[in-house]
Structure 1
Amino acid sequence: MQRSTRSTRVRRRRLDRTSGYGAGYGCEWLLIGNSREWVCRQAGGRTLELGAGTGLNLRWYPADAEVVAVDIDRERLEISAERVQELGRAVRLAVADGQRLPFGQDSFDTVVCTLAICDVDDRTATLAEAYRVVRPGGSLILLDHFEKRWRRGRPATLGEQVGFNLVARERLWAGYFERVRLQKPGSRD
Structure 2
Amino acid sequence: MVRPNIFQVVGFQNSGKTTVILKIIEELTKQGVRTVTLKHHGHGGKPSVISQKDSARHISAGAAASLVEGGGRLLLQAEDYSMELDDQIKILEPFQPDYILIEGHKQKNYPKLLILREKADLSLLEIVKNVKMILYWNEEIKTILGKQEGILLLPIHDKTSISKIADFLIKNR
Calculate the TM-score normalised by the size of structure 2: 0.37
Please report the TM-score for the alignment, with normalisation by the length of structure 1: 0.35
Higher relative contact order (CA 8 A, sep 6+): 2
